[in-house]
Every structure is written in C-alpha cells, then in structure tokens.
Homo-oligomer: A and B are copies of this chain.
C-alpha cells in the first residue's frame, strides 16, 4: 500500500500454519478460534503472564491446535516454536499504557526486544509474513482528526507508544532487509468477549464494589474510539488475504468516538445504576494519556472492511461479558 515495489494485484499466499504470540490473551485467543474455524493449523505462544488458559478451552479440544508455554525473551524456545509456520500474528505485548512510568524497562523488554526476537526467530526459520498489533497511541497527541496513517511525523508521549513505534520500525526494516511482508495494524481500544483491562473493566469492577459511586480518571471528557474484537479480527484477516505490499499499515477503529462520560452513561444505563461521579480532574487520565483518539480508517475501508458493532454496542457487549465472567475481575 505504501511501497513502490508493491503489486496490489498479486494474490497474497494463503495462511495455512499460523503462530499467534499472546495467543491466550484477549485478542489472541479470539483470533486463534477464528483461524481454527478457517481450517488453519494454529500454535499459540504465550507465557500466560496475563493470558488465560481457559480462553483456549475450545482451541485445546481442536486437533489442529497447539499451545506452547514460552516467553518471547527466550529466543531458542521461540525459534523452535516459530519454525514450520507460514505466518506469525504477533499480538503479545505489555498493554499497560497507564502505568508505564512506574516500570520504564517493561515496554522496552516486552514490546521492543520481544518483537525483535519474533523477527529473529522468523528470519532463522525462513518465516516471512507477520501481522503486528500496533496502536493509535503512536500518533501521540495528533494535530489531524481523524488521524490518517501518513499523519505528520508524531512525537511520542508514552513509553507504550514509543515501544510500539520501535517495533513497527523494526518490522519495516526486516521487510526491506530480509524480504518480509509486514502488516501493521494500528488499533484503537478493543472491546468484547475476553476483554480483561481498560475503562469498562475498571468501571464495572468499581460498581460491583460500590454501585453508588464511580471514580473517573481525568475530567471524563477524553474522547476515544473503540472497536469490537471480532470487527478487529475481520479487518486483520481481510487485509492479509487481500494485500500483497511489502509493508501494509492500516488504522483500525470505529467511525466515530465517544466521550468517557458517554461511555459511563451507557454502562450505568445497562446496569440500571445511577452512581455519583467523582473526577480526578485534568484533560488526561494519566501521564501520556491522549485526550482525543480518532483514527482515519479510509485505507481499511478500501479493502472492503466495515465494523459491525457501534461503540455503544461494543461497550454493552463487554459489560454483558464481564457480568457473565466475574471471575476475571478477581484476576487482577
């Protein structure tokens, strides 16, 4: 899509044997199920630090599935696991944007070094196609909304964003240097089944403890976009089955955005609650929080992708899921 050498008409090869890093996580385990349903052989690679083995209950019963418990910083184990696959979905990451400054090496290790290890394992095993879960956070605090993929060169405002940017750059360099094909997906926040962290999680957990009171980080006016996990996976599978360019960069998000206050309204209405709201104050929920995230998804739409759930529907489905899986709230 961006490169001169691209041949957009060439048929991209089919994925037959996929490895999913973070395959026991929220998006990863949903992707594993979809790939198995498509008839792929699937290996999940996960250290189960935040992933849940139970998310793979269905997959583990499938003969085409294998779980490798391993850490991405363990290159020999990773290299052995990657060998023999034809596609790597690299979804494992430290996704804790909010507490980045409390442990300033974690993003470097788990997002930058881990991605480099994935690329090295692929290079050593002759695997050359990778999809990567990047983030709208790499646009920092953009000046253009909705923000397109070729927005003005951004300035990073969080260790999380900086580490994802670094990983993107390494994937691009491997595409140029070693003949890889790299799919980089810049997500907004994802919601839906197996969701385990983020504002819906925090709010629902607070309301379980005290239904009359809700503490909100920032002033509640932060505007964010959200997307349903199956919509996210639709886009990934469509893009890798359609685009043959050396480097593909796609924003993935919903048409609009919602104020945190709007989202609170949907959550409390769904639960039939009317808590008193208390605000931490300030435009940002935490250091490096971007007060407005809204991505231009024209490129993804051009491939024929269309999200099926609105932000409100995605929020409500997430609350419903958490209601039905309260044990998740006790995990952290």
Contact = CB atoms under 8 A, between A and B. Distances in A.
Nearest to A286: B177
Interface string A136-172: 0000110000000111111111110111011011101
Contacts of A249: 155
A93 B210 CA distance: 53
Nearest to A246: B155
Nearest to A119: B104
Nearest to A120: B104
A247 interface: yes
A298 B165 CA distance: 26
Copies per complex of this chain:
2
A51 interface: no
A162 B155 contact: no
A222 B91 CA distance: 38
A163 B108 CA distance: 12
Interface string A89-131: 0000000000011001100100011001001100100000000
A169 B113 CA distance: 15
Contacts of A154: 153
Contacts of A4: 141
B165 A169 contact: yes
A133 to B, nearest CB: 17
Interface in A238-274: 247, 249
A49 interface: no
A51 B58 CA distance: 58
B155 A2 contact: yes
A176 B153 contact: no
Interface in A14-67: none
A287 interface: yes
A158 B170 contact: no
A173 interface: yes
12 contacts: A108-B116, A150-B153, A155-B172, A156-B173, A159-B173, A161-B169, A162-B172, A165-B169, A166-B169, A166-B170, A176-B287, A177-B287
